[in-house]
């Protein structure tokens, strides 16, 4: 019997279970049937995941007596668009799915975000099962109920909250991830460690290959679950701690231009900059910065900003970022590893200094 762990997301009336295990894709059918999610479903996936993992999921649902319809979308962030949202919704109607059906989002965060929104909108809302197949999706996007598409004015600006009916994370699916996609997921894991669980950095450093991931993924799901339980709709500020490294990281990602840096790579850079700000503003010991940087380097994540990107482009992007409240910059900074706080007294000069530090060799 392969190892499996379960994490419960305890929300009033909307609580659900996240199953994390090796080789558990075929559990999706029995689990959906046991929960009586409906007699038919639409599996949303992308072309890459279709080739690798779709068959097992279809077979599992059909063996459980559930009729399946499959919608295959192109891979990539471009799929989180109004055009693909409309296309998917109309395909579901034409396939005969109705309000007794449910959605299975099989893929990375792109499919999870779009599939969740399709489920939230179809017949004013049907259940959604998340079957995440990337590190990012397993430790972050599949848990918490945020769904979204992008518009030209910005990413994730149109969406809804829809907590999934259950989440099934099969760590075996991560074996097929390309190296950069694998590594970028660890930027979010290292972020979780920095804000909530510093000892996890040792676990991450000790990882030798892609086996025995169940405990590590479950530990991250639990971190995300606790944050979501405390602040489901991001109103109290606790959920905002997950944005550590993202204020500057997201600006770098956008300023670098579509397809240059992966999200996790930009967050890695953002974390170095925000660790520096944490030292300056909150007294984070320099040794803590070094500790985090060493884990990032272990996954070949970038920690030095390339020469091509100038400060003004990054600052202009930051000024447009939705993380700004009333014109004030809002940062998640650490007074110690595991001790985040929201900080509003970061000046433009501080950010410029952080970017200057980011251009220096890191020496770790």
DSSP 225-257: HHHHHH-TTS-SSTGGGGGTTHHHHHHHHHHH-
Nearer to ligand NAD, 81 or 341 (CB): 81
CA 176 to chain centroid, in Å, comes to 18
Q: Which residues contact 142 (CB under 8 A, 6 or more apart)?
A: 18, 105, 109, 112, 130, 131, 132, 164, 167, 169
Site for ligand NAD contains 249 (CB under 6 A): no
CA distances from 23 to 68, 120, 170, 207, 213 (A): 21, 28, 6, 19, 12
List the one residue from 113, 253, 265, 279 that touches ligand NAD (CB under 6 A): 113
Which one, of 73, 134, 72, 146, lies nearest residue 107 by Cα? 134
Interface with ligand NAD, residue 46, by CB under 6 A: yes
With CB under 6 A as the contact rule, the residue among 38, 101, 109, 127 that binds ligand NAD is 109
Examine residue 77 and tell whether it contacts ligand NAD (CB under 6 A).
Answer: yes
- The Cα 108–Cα 354 span in angstroms is 32
Please report whether residue 277 would count as binding ligand NAD according to CB under 6 A. Answer: no
C-alpha span between 162 and 14 (Å, rounded): 9
Which residue, 109 or 340, has its beta carbon nearer to ligand NAD? 109
Distance set, CA 233 to CA 9, 240, 247, 360 (Å): 14, 10, 19, 38
Q: How many residues bind ligand NAD (CB under 6 A)?
A: 28
Among the residue ranges 4-12, 133-141, 194-202, 289-297, the one whose residues contact ligand NAD (CB under 6 A): 133-141
- Pick the piece of the chain touching ligand NAD (CB under 6 A) from 46-54, 84-92, 245-253, 277-285: 46-54
Choose one: 14-22, 103-111, 299-307, 354-362; the region binding ligand NAD (CB under 6 A): 103-111
Report the site for ligand NAD in 148-207 (rule: CB under 6 A). Answer: 155-156, 173, 176-177, 181
Rounded least distance, CB 13 to ligand NAD, Å: 20
Question: How far from 129 is each of 29, 174, 207, CA to CA, in Å?
Answer: 11, 18, 29
Q: Which of 21, 29, 107, 340 binds ligand NAD (CB under 6 A)?
A: 107
- Which residues bind to ligand NAD, rule: CB under 6 A? 46, 48-49, 52, 75-77, 80, 107-111, 113, 133-134, 136-137, 140-141, 144, 146, 155-156, 173, 176-177, 181
């Amino acid at each position: 019997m392969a190892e499996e762990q379960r994490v419960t997301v305890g929300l009033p009336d909307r609580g659900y279970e996240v199953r994390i295990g090796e080789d558990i894709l075929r559990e999706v059918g029995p689990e959906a049937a046991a929960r009586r999610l409906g007699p038919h479903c639409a599996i949303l996936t992308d072309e890459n995941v279709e080739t690798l993992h779709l068959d097992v999921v279809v077979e599992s649902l059909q063996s459980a007596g559930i009729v399946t319809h499959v919608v295959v979308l192109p891979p990539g962030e471009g799929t989180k668009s109004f055009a693909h949202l409309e296309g998917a919704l109309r395909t579901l109607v034409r396939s005969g799915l109705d309000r007794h059906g449910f959605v299975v989002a099989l893929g990375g965060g792109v499919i999870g975000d779009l599939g969740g929104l399709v489920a939230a909108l179809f017949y004013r809302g049907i259940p959604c099962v998340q079957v995440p197949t990337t590190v990012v999706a397993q430790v972050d996007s599949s848990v918490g109920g945020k769904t979204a598409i992008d518009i030209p004015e910005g990413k994730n600006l149109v969406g809804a909250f829809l907590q999934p009916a259950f989440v099934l994370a099969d760590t075996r699916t991560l074996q097929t991830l390309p190296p950069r996609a694998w590594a970028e997921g660890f930027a979010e894991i290292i972020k979780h460690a920095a804000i909530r669980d510093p000892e996890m950095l040792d676990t991450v450093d000790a990882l030798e290959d892609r086996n025995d991931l169940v405990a590590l993924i479950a530990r991250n799901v639990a971190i995300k679950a606790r944050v979501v339980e405390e602040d489901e709709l991001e109103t109290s500020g606790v959920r905002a701690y997950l944005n550590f490294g993202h204020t500057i990281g997201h600006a770098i990602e956008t300023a670098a231009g579509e397809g240059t840096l992966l999200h996790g790579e930009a967050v890695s850079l953002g974390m170095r900059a925000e660790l520096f700000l944490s030292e300056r503003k909150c007294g984070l010991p320099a040794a803590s910065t070094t500790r985090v940087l060493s884990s990032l380097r272990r996954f070949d994540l970038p920690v030095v900003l390339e020469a091509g990107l100038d400060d003004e482009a990054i600052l202009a992007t930051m000024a447009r970022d939705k993380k700004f409240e009333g014109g004030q910059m809002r940062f998640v900074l650490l007074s110690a590893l595991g001790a985040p706080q929201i900080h509003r007294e970061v000046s433009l000069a501080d950010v410029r200094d952080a970017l200057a530090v980011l251009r220096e060799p890191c020496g770790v």
